[in-house]
Structure 1
């Protein structure tokens, strides 16, 4: 048989069509597996194993196509079928139909797969893995100035170095709150490293006099307490940005990290007076939480921006001050909304690469627009700029929780705790997420961690009491709520606990006082109290009040366990529509 005859015999026996049909079927099967694997949580090796099996079976199928033929009497060896009785032509037509049908299915699956990939790209991609081998804490720099009046400046420089290092994706940087908690504490670096769980520590000192600044830094490998790099700079104050960039680049080089041109911005020469005012204002805002401190910080930030109105960190710090003033009741909802959006828009115009701006806008989208989808997109944008940005991670967790993705929300919070391990607020947020997910045992562990780190924080005891209430531990909850600093929340819990204990007189007294003194500030909590008291009409009345007062607590309504019994009611669903949450 010559080559031409052999080729014709391959066609007659439908070997080519059989092979094509096998390949098309295999491709469709693999596409179906690829689409279904993440949905059913099948292990990755399943698809790989099927691919290997299909490859191994391909030559077997080709041999079967050559040696066997489908006849009217069943499958027979080709050599035993006379050519005049062969129906290979009809079989070939059927194979053509099979190939066309599966090709059409393949095209449909291709579109489905493309849509799936595009949808995945639109979702926040949050890197939840940690890298303890390349982790670092930047401790507050010591103030070595003669009059010891430059503490805010030393802290500010250390924080700016920290902010530069955060932009390096490969580096796990401990957040400011945890790192700066060791200020003025006599502790060994090894002990600090163990508490923060970091492999490296950067410490330094600042001496500022007249217009000259001297900065000294040491990079310590904590495992062996080895000083692996140290350097000093003495420059005019106007070159402060250049110093902080040089420090960040030197640290990265010594940790053998890849630095791209866009990771650490080029040094600028800021206005010295504006930058100093910014550092002082931010220092007051970070370290004081009373009304007068907020006003003082605001004044300093406004003075800084009057000199240089294009410095994004100053604008966003001012925005956070406005947001805090709203929380403290110093300014109302509408004024806070206007002021916060104004500074955020100016910050984007000043620097479109500043991650904190998008994290801040994500918060505003949640609280002022009820736009969960927009908040998620903004948090994702911030995390693309800085994958370890703690503020953006908090927003991403909130978005995940509001979308019902509780496991994702919890995982993000756990990463935040890795970055900021001794921040009481992070454990509170984790406890609150567990509470919303109705995982009350886990919530109790987290809230205890939070209180151990800070026994005087607002709202923590209120959440702790609610966690105990949901475990029917009412007497314990009553003891816990006595420690709550905020009276409004204390009355809210007392009204609930006394009702559950059967003491309606004390329950009514607490609720009446709460309404008389905190109607506007805690209207959402009043609605929640009536929800537990099973007074449906008053619950809906106060939910409407909360909507009228623009109570920010309404953002928790989709997940708050106090309202669980009412979620499937038509009236509750209609109220949720009024809130116009955009997912």
Structure 2
């Protein structure tokens, strides 16, 4: 058989059409898998496995097309079918129809996929709208006063400049937590820029004497390590708010950004005494996060508002403080709810353009209204005002996470990490999102980074142990959970680990202590423990206790992997509906 005859025989046996039909079918199948994978929550390796199988089967299919033929009496070897009785021409026509039909389906799927990608692109605008070449970190200003009596003011001024710069859409501003982590550390600007991944650094100093402020700022281009602009102001203390705006506008101009009128809103001026008390109260709240610190900060913020009752930053700071007091048990749930809503409404009435107000109201909608959808909309409103506002990004990511939009939550949180790369809690939140999505390897990387940045952080080791446990690395998980500072969480996770290790005596001991000492506050964790122990009745009992006690952990109930075996059961679905969460 010469080459021409072989080619004709390939056509007669429909090898070409059979191969084309196989390729078209395979492409359509892979497109269907790509579209359905995020919907059915299939693992990332599933699509790759199908692709490998299809590639391996392709030569098998070609051989089948050559050696076998469909006849009126069924499938037979081609060599045993006389050419005059061959139905290959009819098979060829059927293959033509099959190819045309699947090509039409392929075109439809192509449009669906394009629409999906476009929707994802629109949804993830928050996450991808970063401009590293126009990025800046505002370092804490140094207090050069003789008695160092202006440390609150120096920190406050730097933070207010940072907050003003955040309002510039084109500028990526490193969050306070990461930028201020270099305070009092002998680290060069080049090294700081490398860690924070920024193109510019703004540093400054404050000196006060005889009610006169001398403020110096220096803008450094980090790639060349050159100072590209510096300026000094000498002003009376009462003019501090004007100084803040002057500095922010000068920085923006020297970064050669396209600034339109009022892109940096003018700050509502407060009385100097009120502002000084606010700065001190905020400093204590941010640096002494314990019961004594919360009470001292509350006292100072109240004194500030007694002088200027409409100073919005103080109102929102006090609202966040009361929410923290609720977490510490200083005030109860209902008292915290009433006070925080009053403060949020008063702040919005005083200034409807302050992004932090909407970020705070987003948190309240989540905690007190169980309205995840409303929380997300309020976060979006805050981001419309300030696209790089860290609080609003946190709330937007949290809402997406609780709504099951894992890709959006991760994408938004990546921007949070870009803006605040040295904040351990950000990596914890990212690890938790990956954990809920059952992406345990990614979760492990982020929780390890969180621990590296803050080795003594509460709950971190509990999440790390759960991540290891879900990978059946029980002995490793046991060593990790021993490092957890919070005893309740330590008992919760240890109970489960000992159970899987077959040590029921230690498992029961830990469980009994967990219930005896933490029944009122950690009903959700106890319910999750019983879920892992496969004790369904006690799981539902403790879920109900958590609901009665307004346990915030219940928000993650639809996502928590420990409840996966019960997810599709009618009783579980009925309990979820009972919670009345609005998504």
Question: Which category of TM-score, normalised to the shorter sequence, fits these structures?
Answer: 0.7 to 0.9
Q: Flag the 1:326–1:122 CA change in 2: closer, same or farther, 3 A.
A: farther
Are the counterparts in 2 of residues 214 and 232 from structure 1 also a CA contact under 8 Å? yes
Deviation of the 1:129 alpha carbon: 3.0
Matched residue of 2:128: which SS?
coil
Q: Flag the 1:373–1:123 CA change in 2: closer, same or farther, 3 A.
A: farther
What is the CA–CA distance in structure 2 between the aligned matches of 1:445 and 1:303, rounded to whole Å? Answer: 44
Are the counterparts in 2 of residues 397 and 413 from structure 1 also a CA contact under 8 Å? yes
Deviation of the 1:260 alpha carbon: 2.6
Deviation of the 1:403 alpha carbon: 1.5
Are the counterparts in 2 of residues 159 and 176 from structure 1 also a CA contact under 8 Å? yes
- Give 2:514's aligned residue: 514
Unaligned segments of structure 2, at least 5 residues: 1-30, 37-115
Deviation of the 1:238 alpha carbon: 0.9
- Give 1:330's aligned residue: 330
What is the CA–CA distance in structure 2 between the aligned matches of 1:403 and 1:573, rounded to whole Å? Answer: 16
- Give 1:402's aligned residue: 402
- Give 2:347's aligned residue: 347
- Give 1:369's aligned residue: 369
Q: Which runs of 4+ in 1 moved over 3 A?
A: 119-125
> 1:417-456 maps to which residues of 2 (within 5 A)?
417-456=417-456
- Give 2:551's aligned residue: 551
Deviation of the 1:463 alpha carbon: 0.4
- Give 2:465's aligned residue: 465
> 1:316-327 maps to which residues of 2 (within 5 A)?
316-327=316-327
What is the CA–CA distance in structure 1 between the aligned matches of 2:436 and 2:120, rounded to whole Å? Answer: 26
> 1:72-87 maps to which residues of 2 (within 5 A)?
none
Deviation of the 1:149 alpha carbon: 2.1
Q: Flag the 1:420–1:301 CA change in 2: closer, same or farther, 3 A.
A: same
What is the CA–CA distance in structure 1 between the aligned matches of 2:209 and 2:325, rounded to whole Å? Answer: 35
Are the counterparts in 2 of residues 431 and 447 from structure 1 also a CA contact under 8 Å? yes
- Give 2:385's aligned residue: 385
What is the CA–CA distance in structure 2 between the aligned matches of 1:569 and 1:489, rounded to whole Å? Answer: 27
Are the counterparts in 2 of residues 125 and 380 from structure 1 also a CA contact under 8 Å? no
Deviation of the 1:269 alpha carbon: 3.9
Are the counterparts in 2 of residues 436 and 561 from structure 1 also a CA contact under 8 Å? yes
What is the CA–CA distance in structure 1 between the aligned matches of 2:423 and 2:241, rounded to whole Å? Answer: 28
> 1:111-190 maps to which residues of 2 (within 5 A)?
126-190=126-190
Are the counterparts in 2 of residues 410 and 433 from structure 1 also a CA contact under 8 Å? yes
> 1:278-289 maps to which residues of 2 (within 5 A)?
278-289=278-289
What is the CA–CA distance in structure 2 between the aligned matches of 1:269 and 1:541, rounded to whole Å? Answer: 53
Q: Is residue 215 of structure 2 the alignment partner of residue 215 of structure 1?
A: yes
- Give 1:530's aligned residue: 530
After TM superposition, the structure 1 stretch with the greater mean CA deviation from structure 2, 451-460 or 504-513, is 504-513
**How many residues align structurally?**
473
Are the counterparts in 1 of residues 127 and 411 from structure 2 also a CA contact under 8 Å? no
What is the CA–CA distance in structure 1 between the aligned matches of 2:371 and 2:121, rounded to whole Å? Answer: 20
Deviations 1:474-504 (A, max 9, x none): 1111100111111110010111111111111
- Give 2:561's aligned residue: 561
Q: Is residue 497 of structure 2 the alignment partner of residue 497 of structure 1?
A: yes
Deviation of the 1:122 alpha carbon: 11
Matched residue of 1:205: which SS?
strand
- Give 2:205's aligned residue: 205
What is the CA–CA distance in structure 2 between the aligned matches of 1:555 and 1:424, rounded to whole Å? Answer: 23
Provide TM-score, normalisation by structure 1: 0.79
Are the counterparts in 2 of residues 124 and 377 from structure 1 also a CA contact under 8 Å? no
What is the CA–CA distance in structure 1 between the aligned matches of 2:557 and 2:124, rounded to whole Å? Answer: 23
Q: Flag the 1:292–1:550 CA change in 2: closer, same or farther, 3 A.
A: same
Matched residue of 1:126: which SS?
helix
After TM superposition, the structure 1 stretch with the greater mean CA deviation from structure 2, 163-172 or 356-365, is 356-365
Are the counterparts in 1 of residues 199 and 223 from structure 2 also a CA contact under 8 Å? yes
- Give 1:228's aligned residue: 228
Deviation of the 1:393 alpha carbon: 0.8
Q: Flag the 1:561–1:174 CA change in 2: closer, same or farther, 3 A.
A: same
- Give 2:242's aligned residue: 242
Matched residue of 1:416: which SS?
helix
Deviation of the 1:126 alpha carbon: 2.1
- Give 1:488's aligned residue: 488
What is the CA–CA distance in structure 1 between the aligned matches of 2:515 and 2:240, rounded to whole Å? Answer: 53
What is the CA–CA distance in structure 1 between the aligned matches of 2:125 and 2:375, rounded to whole Å? Answer: 14
Deviation of the 1:349 alpha carbon: 0.6
Q: Flag the 1:333–1:123 CA change in 2: closer, same or farther, 3 A.
A: farther
What is the CA–CA distance in structure 1 between the aligned matches of 2:376 and 2:122, rounded to whole Å? Answer: 10
Q: Flag the 1:444–1:246 CA change in 2: closer, same or farther, 3 A.
A: same
What is the CA–CA distance in structure 2 between the aligned matches of 1:439 and 1:498, rounded to whole Å? Answer: 24
What is the CA–CA distance in structure 2 between the aligned matches of 1:548 and 1:386, rounded to whole Å? Answer: 37
Q: Flag the 1:498–1:282 CA change in 2: closer, same or farther, 3 A.
A: same
Matched residue of 2:126: which SS?
coil
Are the counterparts in 2 of residues 239 and 269 from structure 1 also a CA contact under 8 Å? no
Deviations 1:128-170 (A, max 9, x none): 2321110000000000111112211100000000000000000
Deviation of the 1:261 alpha carbon: 2.7
Provide TM-score, normalisation by structure 2: 0.79
- Give 1:305's aligned residue: 305
Unaligned segments of structure 1, at least 5 residues: 1-35, 42-115
Matched residue of 1:457: which SS?
coil
Deviation of the 1:424 alpha carbon: 0.5
What is the CA–CA distance in structure 1 between the aligned matches of 2:487 and 2:267, rounded to whole Å? Answer: 49
Are the counterparts in 2 of residues 142 and 206 from structure 1 also a CA contact under 8 Å? yes
What is the CA–CA distance in structure 2 between the aligned matches of 1:470 and 1:269, rounded to whole Å? Answer: 53
- Give 2:73's aligned residue: none
Deviations 1:398-438 (A, max 9, x none): 11111211011111111100000111011001000000000
Q: CA RMSD in A?
A: 2.1
Q: Flag the 1:127–1:463 CA change in 2: closer, same or farther, 3 A.
A: closer
